[in-house]
C-alpha cells in the first residue's frame, strides 16, 4: 500500500485488510515529515500483520513509485511465505467488496496475473501526446515542477532524433499502475539477473509506474488478465476521478473489488464499505459499466460541452462552438409577404412553433403574440439588438424539443444574418423580391413607395450576398419570386419534408397566395421611375402572372 | 496581449493593492478571532450594511456548507448588525464609517483583508444577499469542491449572479430573520442572458435576467453585470478589480472554456428582491453610494413604482442545482 496523505484513512484501510487476514506492507512517501510518519507507524503498531518498507521519495511520473513498489513487494514476499497474490493499492483505495470475496475470486484463479498491459503501438490512451516516446527519450526533469525544461528537452530530443535503445527482449507495455500479481511473476521480475540493467533503463522512462511491471509481467506471467481489479477512472487531463458519498449506490452496484480515489472526507463511503460483514457468496465479476459511462460523460462535457449553450463557463471561440445553436430551426424570407396566411398554415402543416418576424424593428414577434417566451426571453427590441446572437442562441436553447420557425426579411434588423448563415442548424428559404408585394398592395403614395422599394432591394441584395458566401453552412434555398410562383407547392413540399416533423405525406392544403393581379404593372411603374426591381425575376407587364379571380377561394391540391 | 498591456495591468493591480493598504486605516477591528483560522480553513469575506435581518440565515447557510470562518466588514450599520456579528464564535468583524463608494464599493477594504488573512486559503467573497451554489452542493461539502479544484490545479471558480424574485409584488411576503429567503424569492429567469467577452481583463461580461428585462429594457448596455468569480485560492498578490466581477492577474478570470467544452461553475442565488428591497432602494437613492451614481437604483425606483411584479409566465421556479445545471446556467464540467 502506497501512502502519502490522509493517514487516518490509510490506517482504516490497512486495518481492514489485516483483519481479513491479509498481510499489509505500507510504503510512506519520503516527503512526509518524520513526525507524521512516526505517528502513523505507531498507530498501526498493534497490528502484527502490518509492516513498513524502506521509504522512497515519490513524485508523480517518476521512478520513486516503482522503487517503492519493488521494496514493498520484496518485503512482502520475504516475510509472508503464504502469500500467493500481491495486490498493489494506495492509501486512497477503498475495498468495495468483502475481502473474503476477493480471496475466493483469486483462489479460483491461482495462476492469473491481473495487470492492465497494452502495447503502446496499439492503444492511443495517453494524455499529452507522449506514448512511444516515453520509452525512447530521456526524462531527467520533473513534469510537475519543471514543465518548461521538460517540454524543451522533449523538443530538442525530437529534433536530434534521440532514440534510446530498449533493452533486448522487452516490448513496451503500459497500463494502470494498480496491479495484482502472483508470487511467481512478481518474484521472477524482482530476482531476474537483468534487473539492474532494466531498472537503470526504466529509471529514465517517463511514468515508469505505468510501464515497469506492465512490461516485465509479459515476460514471466503464465496467464495475464489484462485488466486492473482496481476501479480507477481518469479524466481528460489524466488525473484520477474522485469518489464521494453520493457515489455509494453506484460503487455498490459496480461489484468492483477496490476503487480509487476516494475523497478522504467521504465518511459515508468508508463507513459503508469498511464495516459491511454480510457475506452471501457473491462471485460476480466486476461490472464498472455504469461508472464508466458517468465519467465518460463528464469528460465529454468538459471537452465538447453542450452544443448551442453560451454561459459563464462555456464561451467558445469563433468556429469552436461545435454547433452555433442547440437545435435545427427554419428561417423564411418572403413567404409571409407572398402568402396571406403563411404563419398559421406552416404551424398546421408542420406542428412547429412559428414566429413572425423575430428581428422586426419594433419588437420580436413571438408566436401567438406573446410578449415573453421560454426562458423569460423578452420581445423588447432594445434588449434583443444589444446582443442579437445571444437572442438567437438563447431562443433555440430555451425551446429545445420544439422546432422553431421564424420569418425574416430586409425590413428587419439584419445583423444576425451572418450567424444564421454560418449555422448548420439553420434552414433558410428565401423568395427574393417578395418584399415588393406588401408595397404593391398598400397602394400608398408612389414616390414614397419607390424610395422604400429601393431601400428594401438594397437591403435584400446584401442579405443575398451573405447567403451566397462560400463560408455559408446553413441549408439555403433561394428562389426569385417569378420562379417561385410558377409552381409554389413543389418548393414548399421540399422545405416541409426537410423539417420532417410529421410523417412524410403530400401537403393537403396550400397557403393562400396574395392576389397578384397588376403586380407586373406595379414593377413596370417602378422601372419607369428609374428604380429597377430585379430580385423578383422577370414578370411580364400584362397579363398578371397568376390571376386568381377570387382570392378567398383556397386552392386545394388533389391528394394522390 | 502585448507586453505593454500586460505591464499596465500589472501596474493597475499594484495600484489596487496600494489603495487597499491605504484604506485599511478606515477599518476598526471590533472582534478579532483570526487566530482561530487554521491553514486549511475556508473563509467567507463579506461587507454588510444594515443587513441584520439576513445575517442569521447567511451565517447558517455557509456554516452548513462547511465554511470555517467569516471575515466581515460592517459599514456603519444602525440596526445592530455589528453587535450580532461580534457575538458569533466564528466571525471576525471590522467596523468602518468610511464611504462605501470611495472604498470602490467596499472592494478596497475586502482586498486589504484578503491580503492580510486570505493568503493560501480558499476564500469566498459574497454579499449578504448572495447564496453560493455549486454542483453537488446537496451531497458534498464545499471542501470537496475546493479539494477537487486543488487537485485539478484550478485557482478560481465562476458563479454567475442569478437574480431570484417572488411571484407578485415584492412587499407581499414579509421576510423574517432566520428564514430561507428562497421560500419567498423562489423564481428566476432561465434563458435571457447576454454574454460577451471583455478583451482587456479576459473575463466574460454577462447581463440580462429580470433586472435587464424589467428595469433596463431601454438601456441594456447599463444593465448590471452578472458574471462573478467569488471563490478563489487566494494569494496576497491578487486583487479584485471591480466588485467580484473580475480579478487581476487576469488569468484568474479565465473561468470559461474557449474550445467548446464546459468548465465547472456554480451560481450565486441573489436574493435581493425581498420586501426589504424597496426601503433599501430608497435609501441608496439618497446615499448615492452605489455603482455609477446608483443608476441601478434609480432604474429600480422607477421600475418598482410602475410594475412591482418581476414574475412572468415563463419564470422558472427554483428546485435544486440539478435543475439549474440542466437549464445551462451552471455546469458540472468534468466533476462527476
Domain limits, chain B: 3-326
**Helix pair A183-191, A195-203: axis angle to 10 deg:** 90
Interface contact B259, partner A, CB < 8 A: yes
**Which residues in chain B show pLDDT less than 70?**
1, 289-295, 299-308
Q: Is B307 on the interface with A (CB under 8 A)?
A: no
- Which of A 312-341 lie inside 8 A of B, CB atoms? 312-317, 320-322
CB atoms closer than 10 angstroms to residue A303: 16
Across A438-553, the runs of DSSP E, i.e. the strands, are 475-480
Mean pLDDT of the region A352-367: 93
Tens digit of each residue's pLDDT (9 = 90 or more) over B30-86: 999 999 999 999 999 999 988 999 999 999 999 999 999 999 999 988 999 999 999
Q: What CA dihedral angle connects A224, A225, A230 and A234, to 10 degrees?
A: 100
- The torsion angle over the Cα atoms of residues B227, B232, B235 and B241, rounded to 10 degrees, is 10
Please tell me the predicted confidence (pLDDT) of residue A548: 46
- Cross-chain Cβ contact A376/B210 below 8 Å: yes
Q: Virtual CA dihedral for A163, A165, A169, A170, nearest 10 degrees?
A: -50
CA distance A167 to B73: 66
Q: Do the chains contact at B158 and A313, CB–CB below 8 Å?
A: yes
Q: What is the mean pLDDT of residues A66-93?
A: 93
pLDDT band (50, 70, 90) for residue A143: confident
Quote the CA–CA distance of B225 and B79 in Å, as a whole number: 29
Average pLDDT on A146-156 reads 84
Q: Which residues contact A514 (CB under 8 A, 6 or more apart)?
A: A337, A338, A339, A340, A437, A441, A551
Q: Which domains, ranges and CATH numbers included, belong to chain A?
A: 2-303 (3.90.550), 329-528 (3.40.50)
**What b/e string do you get for A335-374 counting C-beta neighbours within 10 Å, with b at 16 or more?**
bbbbbbebbebbbebbebbbbbbbbbeebbbbbeebebbb
Which long-range contacts link A65-70 to residues 24+ away (Cβ below 8 Å)?
A65/A2, A65/A177, A65/A208, A65/A209, A66/A202, A66/A208, A66/A209, A66/A212, A66/A213, A68/A2, A68/A27, A68/A29, A69/A2, A69/A27, A69/A209, A69/A213, A70/A190
Residues B126 and B230: beta-carbon distance below 8 Å? yes
Most confident of A267-276, A550-559, B26-35, B98-107: B26-35
| CB distance A268 to A209 below 8 Å | no
Residue B294 pLDDT: 63
**Three-state DSSP class for residue B307:** coil
Q: How far apart are CA B320 and CA B139, in angstroms?
A: 12
B219 touches chain A (CB under 8 A): yes
Angstrom distance (rounded) from CA B316 to CA B165 = 10
**Would you call A418 an interface residue with chain B, using a CB distance cutoff of 8 Å?**
no
Q: Residue B330: CB partners within 8 Å, gap ≥ 6?
A: A311, A312, A313, B133, B134, B135, B159, B160, B265, B266, B267, B321, B324
Identify whether the C-beta of residue A188 lies closer than 8 Å to the C-beta of residue A181: no
Nearest to A237 by CA among B265, B264, B158, B153: B153
Mind giving me the DSSP string for A121-163?
Answer: TT----SSS-SGGGTTS---S-TTT-HHHHHHHHHHHHHTT--
Could you tell me the sign of the dihedral formed by the alpha carbons of A463, A466, A467, A472, in that order?
Answer: negative
Q: What's the pLDDT tens digit per position in A106-124? A: 999 999 999 988 887 766 6
Give A38's Cβ-side CA count (13 Å radius). Answer: 3
Helix (H, G, I), strand (E, B) or coil at A328: coil
C-alpha cell at A60: 508523480
User: Of all helices (H) and strands (E), which one includes residue B287?
Assistant: helix B277-287
Q: Do the beta carbons of residue B210 and residue B224 sit within 8 Å? A: no
Measured CA distances, A321 to A306, A316, A445, B258, B259 (Å): 9, 5, 48, 9, 7
What residues contact residue B258 under an 8 Å CB cut-off, 6+ apart? A315, A316, A317, A320
Q: CA-CA distance, A44 to A26, in Å (whole number)?
A: 10
Which residues of B are less than 8 Å from A398 in CB distance? 190-191
Phi and psi (nearest 5°) for B69? Answer: -150, 150
ipTM over cut 0.90: yes
Query: Has residue A547 got a pLDDT over 60?
Result: no
A504 vs A315: CA distance, rounded Å: 38
CA–CA distance, B196 with A315 (Å, rounded to integer): 9
Please give the helix or strand (H or E) that residue A201 lies within, else none: helix A195-203
Q: What is the pLDDT of residue B100?
A: 83
For residue B195, which residues of chain A lie inside 8 Å, CB to CB? 310-312, 315, 387, 390
Strand partners, B208: B193
Whether the predicted pLDDT of A487 surpasses 70: yes
Distance CA A13, CA A22 (A): 11
The pLDDT of residue A84 is: 92
- Inter-chain contacts counted by CB atoms under 8 A, chains A and B: 181
* pLDDT tens-digit series, residues A9-52: 999 999 999 998 999 999 999 999 999 999 999 999 999 999 99
Distance, CA of A99 to CA of A65 (rounded, Å): 25
Contacts of A246 in chain B (CB under 8 A): 136, 139-140
Confidence of residue A509 (pLDDT cuts 50, 70, 90): confident
A376/B189 Cβ within 8 A: yes
Residue recorded with cell 515529515? A33
Q: How far apart are CA A77 and CA A85, in angstroms?
A: 10
The bridge status of strand B187-188 relative to strand B316-317 is antiparallel
Ranked by mean pLDDT, the top range of A480-494, A535-549, B96-110, B320-334 is: B320-334
The DSSP result for B51-94, as a single string, is -TTTHHHHHHHHHHHT--EEEEEEES-SSSHHHHHHH-TTEEEE
Residue window 99-128, chain B: list those with CB within 8 Å of chain A. none
Give burial (CB, 10 Å; 0-12/13-18/19+) of B317: exposed
- Confidence category of residue A552, pLDDT binned at 50, 70, 90: very low
Q: Do B217 and A301 touch (CB under 8 A)?
A: no
**Does residue A553 register a pLDDT over 80?**
no
Helices (DSSP H) in B133-254: which residue ranges? Answer: 142-151, 209-210
pTM of the predicted protein model = 0.89
Amino acid at each position: 500500500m502506497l501512502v502519502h496523505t490522509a493517514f487516518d484513512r490509510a490506517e482504516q484501510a490497512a486495518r481492514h485488510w489485516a483483519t481479513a487476514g491479509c498481510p499489509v506492507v505500507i510504503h510512506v512517501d519520503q516527503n512526509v515529515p518524520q513526525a507524521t510518519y512516526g505517528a502513523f507507524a505507531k498507530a498501526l503498531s498493534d497490528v502484527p500483520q502490518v509492516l513498513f518498507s524502506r521509504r522512497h521519495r515519490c513524485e508523480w511520473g517518476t521512478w520513486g513509485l516503482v522503487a517503492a513498489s519493488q521494496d514493498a513487494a520484496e518485503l512482502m514476499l520475504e516475510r509472508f511465505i503464504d502469500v500467493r497474490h500481491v495486490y498493489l493499492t494506495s492509501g486512497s483505495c477503498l475495498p468495495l467488496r468483502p475481502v473474503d470475496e476477493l480471496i475466493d475470486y483469486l483462489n479460483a484463479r491461482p495462476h492469473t496475473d491481473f495487470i492492465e498491459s497494452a502495447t503502446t503501438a496499439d492503444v492511443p490512451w495517453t494524455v499529452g501526446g507522449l506514448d512511444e516516446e516515453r520509452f525512447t527519450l530521456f526524462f531527467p526533469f520533473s513534469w510537475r515542477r519543471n514543465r518548461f525544461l521538460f517540454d524543451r528537452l522533449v523538443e530538442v530530443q525530437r529534433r536530434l532524433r534521440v532514440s534510446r535503445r530498449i533493452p533486448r527482449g522487452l516490448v513496451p507495455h503500459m497500463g494502470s499502475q494498480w496491479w495484482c500479481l502472483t508470487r511467481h511473476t512478481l518474484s521472477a521480475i524482482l530476482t531476474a539477473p537483468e534487473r539492474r540493467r532494466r531498472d537503470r533503463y526504466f529509471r529514465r522512462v517517463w511514468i515508469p509506474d505505468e510501464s515497469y511491471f506492465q512490461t516485465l509481467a509479459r515476460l514471466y506471467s503464465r496467464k495475464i488478465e489484462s485488466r486492473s481489479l482496481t476501479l480507477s477512472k481518469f479524466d481528460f487531463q489524466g488525473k484520477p476521478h474522485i469518489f464521494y458519498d453520493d457515489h455509494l449506490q453506484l460503487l455498490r452496484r459496480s461489484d468492483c473489488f477496490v476503487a480509487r480515489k476516494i475523497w478522504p472526507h467521504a465518511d459515508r463511503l468508508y463507513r459503508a464499505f469498511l464495516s459491511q460483514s454480510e457475506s452471501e457468496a457473491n462471485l460476480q465479476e466486476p461490472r464498472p459499466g455504469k461508472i464508466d459511462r458517468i465519467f465518460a460523460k463528464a469528460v465529454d462535457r468538459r471537452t465538447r460541452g453542450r452544443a448551442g449553450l453560451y454561459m459563464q463557463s462555456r464561451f467558445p471561440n469563433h468556429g469552436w462552438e461545435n454547433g452555433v445553436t442547440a437545435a435545427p430551426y427554419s428561417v423564411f424570407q418572403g413567404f409571409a409577404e407572398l402568402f396571406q396566411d403563411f404563419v398559421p398554415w406552416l404551424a398546421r402543416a408542420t406542428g412547429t412553433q412559428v414566429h413572425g418576424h423575430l428581428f422586426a424593428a419594433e419588437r420580436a414577434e413571438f408566436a401567438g403574440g406573446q410578449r415573453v417566451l421560454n426562458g423569460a426571453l423578452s420581445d423588447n427590441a432594445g434588449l434583443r439588438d444589444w446582443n442579437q446572437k445571444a437572442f438567437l442562441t438563447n431562443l433555440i436553447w430555451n425551446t429545445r424539443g420544439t422546432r422553431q420557425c421564424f420569418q425574416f426579411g430586409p425590413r428587419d434588423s439584419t445583423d444576425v444574418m451572418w450567424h444564421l448563415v454560418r449555422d448548420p442548424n439553420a434552414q433558410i428559404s428565401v423568395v427574393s423580391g417578395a418584399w415588393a408585394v406588401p408595397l404593391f398592395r398598400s397602394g400608398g403614395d408612389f414616390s414614397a413607395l419607390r424610395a422604400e422599394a429601393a431601400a428594401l432591394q438594397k437591403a435584400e441584395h446584401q442579405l443575398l450576398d451573405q447567403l451566397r458566401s462560400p463560408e455559408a453552412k446553413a441549408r439555403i434555398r433561394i428562389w426569385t419570386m417569378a420562379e417561385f410562383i410558377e409552381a409554389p407547392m413543389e418548393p414548399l413540399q421540399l422545405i416541409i419534408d426537410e423539417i420532417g416533423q410529421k410523417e412524410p405525406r403530400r401537403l393537403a392544403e396550400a397557403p393562400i397566395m396574395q392576389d397578384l393581379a397588376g403586380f407586373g404593372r406595379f414593377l413596370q411603374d417602378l422601372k419607369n421611375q428609374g428604380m429597377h426591381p430585379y430580385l423578383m425575376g422577370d414578370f411580364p407587364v400584362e397579363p398578371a402572372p397568376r390571376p386568381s379571380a377570387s382570392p378567398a377561394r383556397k386552392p386545394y391540391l388533389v391528394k394522390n | 496581449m502585448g507586453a505593454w498591456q500586460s505591464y499596465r495591468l500589472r501596474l493597475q493591480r499594484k495600484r489596487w493593492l496600494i489603495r487597499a493598504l491605504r484604506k485599511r486605516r478606515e477599518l476598526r477591528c471590533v472582534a478579532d478571532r483570526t487566530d482561530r483560522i487554521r491553514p486549511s480553513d475556508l473563509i467567507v469575506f463579506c461587507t454588510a450594511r444594515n443587513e441584520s435581518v439576513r445575517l442569521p440565515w447567511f451565517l447558517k447557510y455557509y456554516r452548513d456548507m462547511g465554511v470555517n470562518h467569516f471575515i466581515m466588514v460592517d459599514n456603519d450599520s444602525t440596526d445592530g448588525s455589528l453587535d450580532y456579528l461580534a457575538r458569533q464564535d466564528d466571525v471576525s468583524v471590522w467596523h468602518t464609517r468610511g464611504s462605501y463608494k470611495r472604498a470602490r464599493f467596499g472592494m478596497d477594504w475586502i482586498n486589504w483583508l484578503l491580503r492580510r488573512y486570505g493568503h493560501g486559503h480558499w476564500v469566498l467573497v459574497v454579499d449578504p444577499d448572495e447564496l453560493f451554489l455549486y454542483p453537488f452542493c446537496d451531497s458534498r461539502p464545499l471542501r470537496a469542491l475546493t479539494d477537487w479544484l486543488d487537485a485539478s490545479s484550478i485557482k478560481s471558480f465562476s458563479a454567475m449572479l442569478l437574480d431570484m424574485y417572488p411571484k407578485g409584488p415584492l412587499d407581499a411576503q414579509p421576510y423574517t430573520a432566520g428564514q430561507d429567503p428562497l421560500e419567498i424569492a423562489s423564481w428566476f429567469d432561465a434563458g435571457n442572458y447576454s454574454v460577451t467577452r471583455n478583451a482587456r481583463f479576459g473575463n466574460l461580461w454577462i447581463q440580462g435576467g429580470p433586472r435587464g428585462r424589467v428595469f433596463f429594457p431601454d438601456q441594456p448596455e447599463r444593465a448590471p453585470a452578472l458574471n462573478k468569480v467569488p471563490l478563489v485560492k487566494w494569494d496576497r498578490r491578487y486583487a479584485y478589480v471591480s466588485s467580484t466581477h473580475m480579478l487581476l492577474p487576469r488569468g484568474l478570470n479565465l473561468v470559461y472554456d474557449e474550445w467548446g467544452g464546459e468548465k465547472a461553475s456554480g451560481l450565486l442565488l441573489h436574493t435581493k428582491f425581498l420586501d426589504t428591497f424597496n426601503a433599501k432602494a430608497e435609501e441608496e437613492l439618497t446615499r448615492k453610494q452605489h455603482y455609477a451614481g446608483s443608476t441601478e437604483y434609480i432604474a429600480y425606483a422607477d421600475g418598482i413604482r410602475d410594475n412591482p411584479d418581476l414574475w412572468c409566465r415563463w419564470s422558472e421556479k427554483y428546485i435544486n442545482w440539478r435543475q439549474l445545471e440542466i437549464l445551462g446556467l451552471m455546469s458540472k464540467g468534468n466533476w462527476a
